[in-house]
Every structure is written in structure tokens, then in C-alpha cells.
């Protein structure tokens, strides 16, 4: 299907069914012009559609980049809110009634200590653990539900590996929408609690994420007024991840990095970070013509895209996940082939790491930079380390690692190996004895 001939009739710039509403609403401009099939190029109006009726390819938002270029500037962005909405012109929404808990504008940290440990001179961490519900999903959900409301959809829903559940439940409250969140029944306890607290419907499915996702696709046909963030409004939802590229460029003083390392679940985030960097060039916000190398990270227990990369395939063979990185446990990734294309075309790599490496990387990040990542962050950092050992990252490359979720949600992964230094009675003598032992151990080189 992917390599099939492109019918020129379907790539016309005329959008069937498009109307003035697509471009102008209540004085607010949207620069989104159409949805384009990623496979055959057929164009659709900016409506509640996500799949091509001709070839079943996914639809992606197209924009009038010339008009955006004429409207946007570094200065206009600087005057915007300290959230993803400062990049509104590059997002597919019309009005300014955002469903907004403050997603985005998270710190980009120069990782001096971690860089030194790894022998990298220009290493940066995009700390997306600091979003309102603790993951980058707040970016995509804020866009998805804002668009869902504009499209007249009334219920917020999703198929989730955990973080999306938190985010949809929270943003639905802000949107005044009822919510239905579907999760695999074996999710981390903290992710379940931090979702149910918002008071929506949380439905645990006795199956894995791929089963949950399939069920949600079926429900979409029954409930046309529901906005499943990552199913029927996926084309809009995924656009939110572009802000991960926009922010990094802005925070580097409108420079693009040489190399970024991104976790892969469905592969959506990785492809949209790539789209984000390309758009900055298209609208003239950056002039640097260099290509950002994009590398992907997967856990060994669910690494269908990494396997395809290593084996040189241009298809992704589904797997049955078994990993502590539950947020990345997607055995049949919807955007896997597109992630492969991006990584190959930019000169990046994809690697997979074991559960032990993931835990070690979580501890390393926490103890060098003071950032506590969830298991997906452990995957991304451990893959960075693999790429460094394999000579695939140069020590002087400006490298950004996307840390996309907060460690407080996956503490149970660390629990079996987490221990306090000592347990002592509440007396000064006992503490001085502890200190004496510790100091003599240090002198003797005992850990
Ligand atoms: C923390 C975290 N990072 C990364 C991902 C992967 O994102 P994508 O499915 O867009 O590849 C997820 C997916 O749920 C996630 O929760
Ligand atoms: Zn198509």
C-alpha cells in the first residue's frame, strides 16, 4: 500500500467539502487548510475524519505555510502565553477558547553532569515530566480536545497506555466534557489512581493496549459524538507533539539541535517532532538548512520498530509486549512505519534496551541531573547510552533527549531495588555511629 502509485486526481489542491469555516471563524484565523492522506495524498476538509476512505491511510493536517510565514515571527511568539498555545498559528485550531491546563513550555536543561559522565559535550534534556499531569500527553490532549469542541464533539475518550488516560481525564474536566478512558487492566497503580481522581469513567480492559485500541476503534463507529483523542481525532491530537520541536528550537535561541532521541510507542510523537522542525524552516523561523538527526528508543520487551530498523525492513511486524515500560507497550504501532522513514531519512538510529538498563538509566538521570523520569524516560536515556557506545552520537553533537513522563507514576518499577541508607533509633549517638561507618567505608572504598 505504501509504495503504490499515486493517483494524480487525488492529489489536487482542491479540498472537497471545504468551506470558509476552515479558514476563518469569529475573526480568528486557522491556517489549517486540509487533511491529507499520508499514503495517497488525497485531501479532505478539516473535519472529524482520520482515515482515507480510498486507501485507509492516516490523515495529516496541511497548512498554508506561506500565510503562516507572513503572520508569525519570533517576536510574535515571544509575546504569546507560556504554553503550547504560543505556537497557535502552527496548530489546527480556529478559535482561542483553548482546553488548557498549561501544557508545554517545559525546561530545556543543559545536562552538564550527565554529559560529562557519558563523554558528551553538548547534551540537553527536554524535561517534559513537568507538564500538568506529568507527561508530554498534555500537549496532544490540549490540542485534541480544543479541536474536538470546535468540531462539536461532546465526550472525551481515549485508548491509553497510562499517561494519555491521566491527561484526557484531567483535560475533560477543564473542557466540561464527560470522559471515558480505556486502559489495559495491568497498568501501574499510580497511573490508575491519578486518572480516577478526576472523576470520569475509567474502564480497565482485560487485555493489552492493542486490544484496548481495537475496542476503541469499534466504539467510535457506535458513538460518533465521542472524541477518542488518539483514534478519531488523532490527526489533530498528534499535531500537539510538534510543540516539542518548536520549544527546543526557541529555547536554543532559534537554533536547531544536531540530534534528538525520542521514545517510540505508537511512533506518533517522533514523526511529529520531525514535522515540527521542518515547519520551522518552512515558515522562516529558522534558516539553518541542516537536518536534525532523529533517533528512536524502544524497550526490548516491545521493540517492533527497533527490530524493523535493525533488520532493514520497511514494515513493522507486531509483537506481544512484555516490559516494565508500560507506556511504550504498543505491539502494533500505528505510526511505526512513518517513524522508521523519519529515522532513516534523517540519518538517525533506533535501538532497544532491557528492563535492567531502563532502571539503571532512571537512577542515572535522577542522580546526575535531579530529574525523576518514568520508565519511558529510562528507555530513552538508556538508548542514548547505547548509541554513544556504538559510536552513533558524536561527542560534540548538540543532542537533545526527550524525557516525556514523570517517575512518580511508575515508582513500583523501582520499589524492589530501592532502599534507605540505614534505619536507626532517634538518637544523636546512633546517627554519629552511622556517619562514622559511612566515612570509614568511603575511606576503604566500600560503597
Ligand atoms: C511518557 C511517554 N513517552 C512516550 C510515549 C510514546 O508516544 P507515541 O505513542 O506518540 O510514540 C508515550 C505513549 O504513551 C508515553 O506515555
Ligand atoms: Zn489515501
Question: Which CATH code of 3.40.190.10, 3.40.50.1100, 3.90.1150.170, 1.10.490.10 fits the domain covering 137-237?
Answer: 3.40.50.1100
Show the cell assigned to 299. 524497550
| Ordered per-residue pLDDT tens for the chain, 447 residues | 333 333 333 344 455 444 433 444 344 579 999 999 999 999 999 999 999 999 999 999 999 999 999 999 999 999 999 999 999 999 999 999 999 999 999 999 999 999 999 999 999 999 999 999 999 999 999 999 999 999 999 999 999 999 999 999 999 999 999 999 999 999 999 999 999 999 999 999 999 999 999 999 999 999 999 999 999 999 999 999 999 999 999 999 999 999 999 999 999 999 999 999 999 999 999 998 899 999 999 999 999 999 999 999 999 999 999 999 999 999 999 999 999 999 999 999 999 999 999 999 999 999 999 999 999 999 999 999 999 999 999 999 999 999 999 999 999 999 998 999 999 999 999 999 999 999 998 888 766
Domain positions in the chain are: 8-63, 108-134+238-411, 137-237
Question: Which CATH code of 3.40.50.1100, 3.30.70.260, 3.10.180.10, 3.40.1370.10 fits the domain covering 108-134+238-411?
Answer: 3.40.50.1100
Q: How far is the CA of 78 from the centre of ligand 1 (A)?
A: 28
Ligand nearest, relative to CA of residue 11:
2
Strands 28-29 and 293-299: unpaired
Select from 268, 208, 276, 283 the least CA-distant residue to 243.
Answer: 276
410 ligand 1 Cβ < 6 A: no
DSSP 130-195: GSTTSBTHHHHHHHHHHHHHHTT--EEEEE-SSHHHHHHHHHHHHHT-EEEEEEETT--HHHHHHH
Specify which residues 399 forms β-bridges with.
123, 259
404 ligand 1 Cβ < 6 A: yes
Q: How far is the CA of 67 from the centre of ligand 1 (A)?
A: 32
Q: How far is the CA of 263 from the centre of ligand 1 (A)?
A: 7
Amino acid at each position: 500500500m505504501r509504495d503504490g502509485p499515486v493517483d494524480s486526481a487525488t492529489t489536487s489542491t482542491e479540498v472537497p467539502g471545504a468551506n470558509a469555516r476552515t479558514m476563518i471563524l469569529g475573526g480568528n484565523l486557522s491556517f489549517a487548510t486540509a487533511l491529507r492522506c499520508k499514503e495517497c495524498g488525497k485531501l479532505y476538509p478539516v473535519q472529524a475524519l482520520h482515515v482515507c476512505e480510498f486507501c485507509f491511510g492516516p490523515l495529516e493536517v496541511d497548512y498554508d505555510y506561506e500565510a503562516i510565514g507572513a503572520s508569525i515571527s519570533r517576536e510574535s511568539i515571544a509575546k504569546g502565553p507560556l504554553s503550547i498555545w504560543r505556537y497557535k498559528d502552527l496548530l489546527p485550531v480556529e478559535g482561542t477558547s483553548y482546553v488548557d491546563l498549561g501544557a508545554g513550555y517545559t525546561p530545556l536543561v543543559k545536562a552538564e553532569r550527565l554529559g560529562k559522565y557519558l563523554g558528551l559535550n553538548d547534551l540537553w534534556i527536554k524535561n517534559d515530566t513537568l507538564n500538568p499531569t506529568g507527561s508530554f500527553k498534555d500537549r496532544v490532549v490540549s490540542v485534541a480536545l480544543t479541536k474536538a469542541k470546535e468540531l462539536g464533539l461532546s465526550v472525551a475518550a481515549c485508548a491509553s497506555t497510562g499517561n494519555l488516560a491521566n491527561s484526557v481525564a484531567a483535560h475533560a474536566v477543564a473542557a466540561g466534557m464527560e470522559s471515558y478512558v480505556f486502559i489495559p487492566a495491568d497498568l501501574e497503580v499510580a497511573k490508575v489512581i491519578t486518572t480516577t481522581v478526576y472523576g470520569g469513567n475509567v474502564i480497565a480492559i482485560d487485555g493489552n493496549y492493542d486490544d484496548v485500541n481495537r475496542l476503541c476503534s469499534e466504539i467510535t463507529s457506535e458513538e460518533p459524538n465521542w472524541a477518542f483523542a488518539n483514534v478519531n481525532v488523532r490527526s489533530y491530537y498528534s499535531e500537539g507533539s510538534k510543540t516539542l520541536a518548536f520549544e527546543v528550537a526557541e529555547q536554543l535561541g532559534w537554533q536547531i539541535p544536531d540530534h534528538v532521541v525520542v521514545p517510540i510507542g505508537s511512533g506518533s510523537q517522533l514523526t511529529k517532532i520531525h514535522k515540527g522542525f521542518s515547519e520551522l524552516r518552512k515558515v522562516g523561523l529558522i534558516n539553518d538548512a541542516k537536518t536534525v538527526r532523529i533517533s528512536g528508543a524502544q524497550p526490548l520487551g516491545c521493540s517492533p520498530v527497533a527490530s524493523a530498523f535493525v533488520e532493514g525492513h520497511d514494515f513493522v511486524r507486531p509483537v506481544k509486549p512484555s516490559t516494565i515500560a508500560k507506556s511504550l507497550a504498543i505491539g502494533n504501532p500505528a505510526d511505526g512505519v512513518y517513524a522508521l522513514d523519519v529515522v532513516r531519512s534523517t540519518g538517525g538510529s533506533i535501538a532497544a534496551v532491557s528492563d535492567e538498563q531502563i532502571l539503571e538509566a532512571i537512577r542515572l538521570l535522577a542522580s546526575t541531573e535531579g530529574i525523576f523520569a518514568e520508565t519511558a524516560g529510562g528507555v530513552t536515556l538508556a538508548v542514548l547510552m547505547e548509541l554513544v557506545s556504538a559510536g552513533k552520537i558524536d561527542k560534540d553533537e548538540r543532542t537533545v533527549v526527550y524525557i516525556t513522563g514523570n517517575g512518580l507514576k511508575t515508582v513500583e518499577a523501582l520499589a524492589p531495588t530501592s532502599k534507605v541508607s540505614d534505619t536507626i533509633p532517634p538518637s544523636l549517638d546512633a546517627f554519629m555511629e552511622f556517619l562514622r561507618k559511612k566515612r570509614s567505608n568511603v575511606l576503604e572504598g566500600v560503597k
